Amino acid sequence: MQAKYLAIVPVCLVAAGCGADTVDTGEVESAIEQQLSGATVSVSTVSCPDDVDKEEGAKFTCDAELEGGGKAKVQVTQTSNAGDFTYRFKPGTVQLTDDAVEPVLEEDLAAGGLPGATVDCPDTINVKTGETVACTATGSGGQQSQLTFTFSSDDGGIDESSVTTSGP
Protein backbone atom coordinates (compact mmCIF):
# COMPACT_ATOMS: atom_id res chain seq x y z
CA MET A 1 0.00 0.00 0.00
CA GLN A 2 2.76 2.41 0.76
CA ALA A 3 4.25 2.17 -2.73
CA LYS A 4 0.95 3.15 -4.41
CA TYR A 5 0.55 6.18 -2.14
CA LEU A 6 4.07 7.43 -2.87
CA ALA A 7 3.53 7.06 -6.61
CA ILE A 8 0.44 9.29 -6.47
CA VAL A 9 2.12 12.20 -4.66
CA PRO A 10 4.53 13.18 -7.49
CA VAL A 11 1.65 13.11 -9.98
CA CYS A 12 -0.27 15.57 -7.78
CA LEU A 13 2.71 17.90 -7.61
CA VAL A 14 3.23 17.91 -11.37
CA ALA A 15 -0.33 17.70 -12.73
CA ALA A 16 -2.19 19.88 -10.26
CA GLY A 17 0.60 22.17 -9.23
CA CYS A 18 0.04 21.37 -5.58
CA GLY A 19 1.63 24.04 -3.46
CA ALA A 20 2.44 26.29 -6.46
CA ASP A 21 3.68 29.74 -5.49
CA THR A 22 1.37 32.42 -6.90
CA VAL A 23 1.76 36.15 -7.40
CA ASP A 24 0.31 38.46 -4.74
CA THR A 25 -1.91 40.34 -7.18
CA GLY A 26 -3.01 42.78 -4.48
CA GLU A 27 0.54 44.11 -4.32
CA VAL A 28 0.75 44.23 -8.12
CA GLU A 29 -2.53 46.17 -8.32
CA SER A 30 -1.31 48.75 -5.78
CA ALA A 31 2.00 49.16 -7.59
CA ILE A 32 0.23 49.73 -10.92
CA GLU A 33 -1.97 52.43 -9.35
CA GLN A 34 1.12 54.23 -8.02
CA GLN A 35 3.54 53.78 -10.91
CA LEU A 36 1.30 54.37 -13.92
CA SER A 37 -0.54 57.50 -12.76
CA GLY A 38 0.62 60.69 -14.46
CA ALA A 39 -0.54 64.10 -15.67
CA THR A 40 -3.38 62.90 -17.92
CA VAL A 41 -3.79 59.35 -16.61
CA SER A 42 -4.72 58.71 -13.01
CA VAL A 43 -5.30 55.03 -12.23
CA SER A 44 -8.13 54.61 -9.72
CA THR A 45 -8.54 50.82 -9.52
CA VAL A 46 -6.85 47.76 -11.00
CA SER A 47 -8.06 44.19 -11.33
CA CYS A 48 -5.56 41.40 -12.01
CA PRO A 49 -6.17 37.64 -12.33
CA ASP A 50 -5.88 35.77 -9.01
CA ASP A 51 -4.24 32.58 -10.22
CA VAL A 52 -0.92 33.74 -11.68
CA ASP A 53 2.03 31.46 -10.90
CA LYS A 54 5.37 33.07 -10.05
CA GLU A 55 7.62 32.53 -13.04
CA GLU A 56 10.37 34.82 -14.25
CA GLY A 57 9.60 36.21 -17.70
CA ALA A 58 5.89 35.37 -17.54
CA LYS A 59 3.38 38.04 -18.56
CA PHE A 60 -0.23 38.68 -17.65
CA THR A 61 -2.77 41.44 -18.26
CA CYS A 62 -4.69 43.52 -15.73
CA ASP A 63 -7.65 45.85 -16.27
CA ALA A 64 -7.30 49.42 -15.04
CA GLU A 65 -10.03 51.96 -14.44
CA LEU A 66 -8.91 55.57 -14.75
CA GLU A 67 -10.16 58.65 -12.92
CA GLY A 68 -13.03 60.28 -14.77
CA GLY A 69 -14.25 57.03 -16.35
CA GLY A 70 -11.37 56.07 -18.62
CA LYS A 71 -9.95 52.57 -18.89
CA ALA A 72 -6.87 50.68 -20.02
CA LYS A 73 -5.17 47.30 -20.09
CA VAL A 74 -1.85 46.90 -18.32
CA GLN A 75 0.77 44.34 -19.30
CA VAL A 76 2.67 43.00 -16.30
CA THR A 77 5.99 41.19 -16.77
CA GLN A 78 7.60 39.21 -13.96
CA THR A 79 11.27 40.15 -13.98
CA SER A 80 12.25 37.68 -11.24
CA ASN A 81 10.83 34.87 -9.12
CA ALA A 82 11.29 37.13 -6.09
CA GLY A 83 8.25 39.29 -6.89
CA ASP A 84 9.77 41.95 -9.15
CA PHE A 85 7.60 43.26 -11.99
CA THR A 86 7.44 45.85 -14.75
CA TYR A 87 4.20 47.52 -15.80
CA ARG A 88 3.13 49.29 -18.97
CA PHE A 89 -0.10 50.24 -20.65
CA LYS A 90 -0.78 48.00 -23.62
CA PRO A 91 -0.54 50.21 -26.72
CA GLY A 92 -3.93 51.20 -28.11
CA THR A 93 -5.90 50.23 -24.98
CA VAL A 94 -5.89 53.53 -23.06
CA GLN A 95 -9.16 55.44 -23.29
CA LEU A 96 -9.31 58.83 -21.61
CA THR A 97 -12.32 60.99 -20.93
CA ASP A 98 -12.50 64.68 -21.72
CA ASP A 99 -12.32 65.38 -17.96
CA ALA A 100 -8.75 64.03 -17.90
CA VAL A 101 -7.51 65.80 -21.04
CA GLU A 102 -9.18 69.23 -21.00
CA PRO A 103 -7.54 70.57 -17.78
CA VAL A 104 -4.07 69.67 -19.09
CA LEU A 105 -4.74 71.51 -22.36
CA GLU A 106 -6.21 74.52 -20.51
CA GLU A 107 -3.05 74.73 -18.37
CA ASP A 108 -0.93 74.55 -21.52
CA LEU A 109 -2.93 77.38 -23.13
CA ALA A 110 -2.64 79.51 -19.97
CA ALA A 111 1.13 78.96 -19.90
CA GLY A 112 1.22 80.01 -23.55
CA GLY A 113 -0.48 83.34 -22.85
CA LEU A 114 -4.17 82.46 -23.10
CA PRO A 115 -5.42 82.49 -19.49
CA GLY A 116 -9.08 81.73 -18.94
CA ALA A 117 -9.43 79.67 -22.13
CA THR A 118 -11.62 76.58 -21.94
CA VAL A 119 -11.28 73.42 -23.99
CA ASP A 120 -14.04 71.06 -25.15
CA CYS A 121 -12.85 67.64 -26.40
CA PRO A 122 -14.74 64.50 -27.41
CA ASP A 123 -16.19 62.62 -24.41
CA THR A 124 -13.91 59.62 -24.98
CA ILE A 125 -10.46 59.78 -26.54
CA ASN A 126 -8.52 56.69 -27.63
CA VAL A 127 -4.82 57.27 -26.97
CA LYS A 128 -2.66 56.53 -30.00
CA THR A 129 0.86 57.92 -30.09
CA GLY A 130 1.30 60.46 -32.87
CA GLU A 131 -2.37 60.58 -33.87
CA THR A 132 -3.94 64.07 -34.04
CA VAL A 133 -6.90 64.83 -31.76
CA ALA A 134 -9.17 67.84 -32.40
CA CYS A 135 -10.98 69.85 -29.72
CA THR A 136 -12.58 73.29 -29.50
CA ALA A 137 -10.90 76.07 -27.54
CA THR A 138 -12.88 79.08 -26.34
CA GLY A 139 -10.97 82.19 -25.30
CA SER A 140 -11.96 84.41 -22.38
CA GLY A 141 -13.70 86.75 -24.87
CA GLY A 142 -15.84 83.93 -26.28
CA GLN A 143 -13.95 83.49 -29.54
CA GLN A 144 -13.69 79.83 -30.59
CA SER A 145 -10.93 78.08 -32.48
CA GLN A 146 -9.92 74.53 -33.28
CA LEU A 147 -7.27 73.08 -30.98
CA THR A 148 -5.28 70.06 -32.08
CA PHE A 149 -2.65 67.96 -30.32
CA THR A 150 -0.98 64.57 -30.42
CA PHE A 151 -0.11 62.08 -27.72
CA SER A 152 3.60 61.56 -27.14
CA SER A 153 3.19 58.16 -25.47
CA ASP A 154 0.83 55.23 -25.03
CA ASP A 155 0.12 56.35 -21.46
CA GLY A 156 -1.68 59.54 -22.53
CA GLY A 157 1.20 62.00 -22.31
CA ILE A 158 0.43 65.03 -24.47
CA ASP A 159 3.17 66.36 -26.74
CA GLU A 160 3.02 70.00 -25.61
CA SER A 161 4.86 71.16 -28.71
CA SER A 162 2.00 69.74 -30.82
CA VAL A 163 -0.76 71.82 -29.18
CA THR A 164 -1.94 74.36 -31.76
CA THR A 165 -5.01 76.50 -32.24
CA SER A 166 -6.43 77.76 -35.52
CA GLY A 167 -9.60 79.47 -36.61
CA PRO A 168 -11.30 82.85 -36.61
86 lies in the same domain as 115: no
**Partners of 59 in beta bridges:** 77
- Domain boundary (58, 90, 122) is at 90
- Domain boundary (56, 73, 90) is at 90
14 lies in the same domain as 75: yes
CA-CA distance, 35 to 30, in Å (whole number)?
9
80 lies in the same domain as 122: no
82 lies in the same domain as 121: no
End-to-end CA distance of the chain: 91
In order along its 168 residues, the chain shows pLDDT tens digits of 444 433 333 333 333 444 458 899 999 999 999 999 887 788 999 999 998 999 999 999 999 999 888 999 999 999 998 889 999 999 999 999 999 899 999 999 999 888 999 999 999 999 999 999 999 999 988 999 999 999 998 888 899 899 999 865
75 lies in the same domain as 114: no
Q: Please give the tally of structural domains in the chain.
A: 2
- pTM listed for this prediction: 0.76
- Domain boundary (90, 121, 143) is at 90
Non-local (6+) Cβ contacts of 40 within 8 A are 96, 100, 101, 104, 156, 157, 158
6 lies in the same domain as 86: yes
Range of the domain at 64: 2-90
Handedness of CA 147, 150, 151, 157 (dihedral sign): negative
Cβ–Cβ under 8 Å, residues 22 and 53 = yes
117 lies in the same domain as 65: no
